[in-house]
């Protein structure tokens, strides 16, 4: 009886169940409910570990195919199938894990149609997509050999094996390095010890080293799991190769740091410097030393220690580049929430389960490991606690694994913090009256970021007193120009402009129900009188905005719809005001002088809503606005 496999499977299933509950919560309630990510730290452990490290960990696939097919090292044949399978599952895990991190995961296909060839992410996305397909085609002959029915498809795939291998190596070279190119855009965000112009090169070399060690590590783990004789000789050869690649990586990295004059940063005592030294020791220096000694290289224990150091050290490197060393620049503190860690572990566990499934089902190794449930044959067992026949061993295993999955899923779902998912909806932000006289400062929530609105100038240009209706499309009784804020009472949520309770209240309108609701009919909004049946001056006669129901849109929406639609029209009509409908026309003005003292603290820096659009002469427009003021 092989209990190692059984216990491992139970643990993996329980992690998958736990992560499943968190995953559902993430898609139901969003990133805010499940992660500690912020606007300053939008890339957390899901990018650092799942994507950056995930792609690097799957590098074994292209490394082994290069060794076997290109360099013709036939002795590594037994590594090809497991390594290609690991790479395929690794890439699936990367894509699947990425779905959790994307804000709009259903748009993941956009990169296929909406091309942005300037973006490294575009290249990475395409490469990962194509390479996953290539890996599928490289691997599919293995399951297809199980039945003779698909022999023809298999033969065709085998014929194209060599071009597929070449394509796979090419694509890997591209995107393993491009993942590094992603960070070239952030020279001021990434810590100088990790930032380098040759990041793509460093990523590629380290991926090759990691690929070699991943093949070794995976061989060690799976042989331990299924109690097989370890492939010590082959792993030793991989370790020997890894020493060379790691040495090149070490020299290139150190030379880069030396040449860019950042040597002193390594020993300046900041926590990044310790992080860097630790990373280099684990991922590169100690493994090089260990594997240079023949005695260590040829012993199973030495292989375990060395390969796991490289694997975890390189994961550490990817996490460091992927966000950890940006925290100093952003001033943010980010510690991944337990839910983020759970999802990452769950994705890995699911991939491991798929790996075990494939190992037991197909000829990944020369001889299939026996399904632990079938050795030796045991008749169905009667379970006295539940008073049921558990059935044949595989059937009992199915029952057990799904039960573990179910229980851990329910536990995970119960542990999700209630306050994170019990949202009261959009926060209500009340609107206040615009301040000013001839020129108004529109700043509904009084957060001091607003828009200057030249009210008098608009009256003059739109046609004096007759033009009020063009904007003031609905007025309170006895009023001619009611302010926007009186009906659009909330910044971001709609308001019921008709105030029912005020009308019914003795201190308000104090009118009887029957004045609006006809007798004998159910009292509903549909059957009641319309507002303008009583308030004859409610709607001005020739206003361009038709009031359909009395739900007033949010203040922000109302402002934009009213101003922008008119500005667009005018921009077409007037040849000298082409820029009228641009964001900067309104969102650039400094607040009026009488507010300046109040908000002086904001005057020194750039404004929150200061939009810069190329080709528009901001300075000139700004002067014009100040002149108006």
Partner 1 sequence: MDALLDFARGPFFRFSFAIMALGLLRVIVLDLLGAYDAYRKAGEKDLPWGLIISRSLQWFIPINRVFKYRPIFSSISILFHVGLLLVPVFLFAHVHLWKQAIGFGWFTLSKEWADWLTILTIASGIALFIGRVFTRSSSFLSRFQDYLWPLLLLVPFISGYVCANLTISPKLYQLLMLTHVLSAELIFILMPFTKIAHCVLMPLSQFVSNLAWKFPADTDDAICTTLNKKGAPV
Residues forming contacts to partner 1 in the complex (CB under 8 A) are 21, 28, 379-380, 395, 398-399, 402-403, 405-407, 409-411, 413-416, 418, 421-422
Q: How far is the CB of 243 from partner 1 (least distance, A)?
A: 49
For Cα atoms 464, 469, 470, give the angle at the middle one, nearest 5 degrees: 85
Residue whose entry in the numeric block shows the structure tokens 């909330």: 490
Whichever of 233 and 524 has its CB closer to partner 1, that residue is 524
Q: How far is the CB of 89 from partner 1 (least distance, A)?
A: 22
Rounded CA separation 552/115 (Å): 39
* Phi, psi of 382, rounded to the nearest 5 degrees: -95, 120
Rounded CA separation 339/324 (Å): 18
Instruction: Return the DSSP state at 183.
Output: G
Q: What is the CB neighbour count within 10 angstroms for residue 292?
A: 13
Asked if residue 221 lies in contact with residue 214, where contact means CB atoms within 8 angstroms, the answer is no
Q: How far is the CB of 400 from partner 1 (least distance, A)?
A: 11
Instruction: Return the DSSP state at 496.
Output: E
Give the residues across from 383 on adjacent strands: 388
The tokens describing 124, both together, are: 């990475």
Q: How far is the CB of 424 from partner 1 (least distance, A)?
A: 9
Whichever of 243 and 416 has its CB closer to partner 1, that residue is 416
Burial of 419: CB neighbours in 10 Å, binned 0-12, 13-18, 19+: exposed
Rounded CA separation 334/47 (Å): 13
Rounded CA separation 69/147 (Å): 26
Q: How far is the CB of 120 from partner 1 (least distance, A)?
A: 37
Q: How far is the CB of 18 from partner 1 (least distance, A)?
A: 11
Rounded CA separation 512/510 (Å): 7
Rounded CA separation 203/249 (Å): 9
Q: How far is the CB of 423 from partner 1 (least distance, A)?
A: 9
Q: How far is the CB of 29 from partner 1 (least distance, A)?
A: 9
Helix (H) or strand (E) holding 489: none
DSSP 24-37: HHHHHH-HHHH---
Q: Which of 85, 519, 53 is nearest to 283 (CA)?
A: 53
Asked if residue 210 lies in contact with residue 287, where contact means CB atoms within 8 angstroms, the answer is no
Q: How far is the CB of 483 from partner 1 (least distance, A)?
A: 33
Residue whose entry in the numeric block shows the structure tokens 């539940």: 386
Q: How far is the CB of 95 from partner 1 (least distance, A)?
A: 25
User: How many CA atoms lie within 13 Å of 443's alpha carbon, on the beta-carbon side?
Assistant: 20
Q: How far is the CB of 363 from partner 1 (least distance, A)?
A: 21
Q: How far is the CB of 510 from partner 1 (least distance, A)?
A: 30
Q: How far is the CB of 37 from partner 1 (least distance, A)?
A: 22
Rounded CA separation 53/168 (Å): 19
Whichever of 257 and 343 has its CB closer to partner 1, that residue is 343
Whichever of 143 and 230 has its CB closer to partner 1, that residue is 143
The answer for residues whose C-beta is within 8 angstroms of residue 30's C-beta and 6 or more apart is: none
Q: Would you call 234 helix, strand, or coil by DSSP?
A: helix
Whichever of 3 and 386 has its CB closer to partner 1, that residue is 386
DSSP 372-437: GGGSS----EEETTTTEEEESHHHHHHHHHHHHHHHHHHHHHHHS-HHHH---SSPP-B--PPEES
Q: What is the dihedral of CA 45, 51, 57, 63, to 10 degrees?
A: -160
Helix (H) or strand (E) holding 442: strand 439-442
Whichever of 400 and 610 has its CB closer to partner 1, that residue is 400
Whichever of 148 and 418 has its CB closer to partner 1, that residue is 418
Asked if residue 240 lies in contact with residue 213, where contact means CB atoms within 8 angstroms, the answer is no
């Amino acid at each position: 009886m092989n209990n190692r496999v059984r216990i491992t499977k139970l643990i993996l299933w329980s992690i998958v169940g736990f992560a499943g509950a968190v995953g559902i919560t993430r898609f139901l309630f969003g990133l805010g409910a499940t992660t500690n990510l912020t606007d300053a730290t939008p890339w957390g452990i899901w990018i650092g570990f799942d994507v950056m490290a995930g792609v690097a960990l799957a590098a074994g696939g292209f490394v082994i195919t290069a060794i076997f097919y290109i360099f013709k090292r036939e002795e590594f044949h037994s590594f090809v199938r497991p390594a290609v399978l690991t790479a395929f599952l690794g890439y699936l895990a990367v894509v699947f894990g990425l779905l959790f991190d994307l804000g709009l995961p259903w748009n993941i296909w956009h990169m296929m149609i909406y091309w942005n060839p300037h973006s490294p992410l575009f290249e990475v996305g395409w490469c990962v997509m194509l390479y996953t397909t290539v890996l599928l085609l490289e691997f599919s002959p293995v399951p297809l050999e199980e039945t003779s029915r698909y022999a023809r498809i298999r033969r065709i795939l085998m014929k194209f094996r060599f071009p597929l291998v070449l394509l796979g190596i090419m694509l890997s070279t591209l995107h393993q390095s491009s993942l590094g190119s992603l960070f070239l855009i952030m020279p001021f965000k990434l810590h100088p010890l990790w930032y380098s112009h040759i990041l793509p090169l460093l990523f590629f070399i380290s991926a090759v080293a990691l690929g070699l060690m991943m093949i070794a590590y995976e061989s060690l783990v799976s042989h331990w799991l299924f109690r097989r004789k370890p492939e010590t000789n082959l792993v030793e050869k991989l370790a020997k190769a890894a020493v060379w690649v790691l040495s090149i990586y070490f020299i290139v990295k150190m030379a880069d740091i030396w040449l860019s004059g950042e040597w002193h940063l390594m020993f300046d005592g900041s926590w990044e410097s310790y992080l860097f030294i630790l990373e280099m020791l684990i991922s590169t220096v100690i493994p090089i030393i260990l594997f240079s000694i023949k005695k260590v290289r040829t012993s199973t224990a030495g292989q375990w220690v060395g390969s796991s150091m490289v694997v975890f050290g390189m994961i550490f490197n990817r996490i460091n580049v992927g966000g950890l060393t940006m925290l100093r620049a952003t001033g943010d503190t980010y510690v991944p929430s337990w839910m983020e860690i759970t999802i990452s572990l769950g994705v890995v566990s699911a991939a491991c389960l798929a790996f075990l499934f494939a190992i037991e089902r197909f000829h990944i190794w020369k001889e299939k490991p026996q399904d632990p449930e079938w050795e030796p044959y045991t008749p169905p067992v009667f379970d006295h606690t539940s008073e049921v026949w558990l059935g044949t061993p595989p059937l009992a295993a199915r029952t057990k694994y799904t039960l573990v999955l179910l229980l851990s899923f329910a536990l995970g779902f119960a542990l999700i913090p209630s306050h994170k998912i019990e949202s009261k909806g959009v926060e209500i932000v009340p609107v206040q009256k615009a301040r000013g006289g001839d020129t108004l400062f529109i700043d509904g929530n009084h957060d001091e970021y607003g828009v200057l609105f030249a009210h008098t100038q608009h009256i003059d240009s739109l046609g004096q007193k007759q033009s009020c209706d063009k904007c003031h499309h609905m007025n309170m009784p006895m009023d001619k120009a009611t302010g926007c804020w009186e009906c659009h009472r909330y910044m971001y949520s709609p308001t019921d402009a008709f105030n029912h309770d005020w009308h019914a209240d003795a201190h308000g309108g104090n009118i009887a129900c029957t004045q609006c609701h006809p007798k004998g009919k159910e009292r509903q909004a549909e059957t009641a009188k319309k507002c303008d049946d009583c308030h004859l001056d409610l709607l001005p006669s020739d206003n361009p905005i038709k009031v359909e129901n009395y739900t007033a849109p949010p203040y922000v929406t109302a402002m934009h719809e009213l101003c922008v639609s008119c500005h667009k029209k005018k921009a077409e009509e007037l040849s000298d005001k082409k820029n009228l409908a641009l964001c900067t026309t309104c969102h650039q003005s400094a607040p009026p002088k009488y507010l300046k003292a109040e908000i002086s603290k904001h005057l020194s820096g750039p404004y929150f809503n200061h939009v810069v659009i190329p080709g528009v002469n901001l300075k000139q427009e700004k002067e014009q606005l100040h002149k108006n003021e």
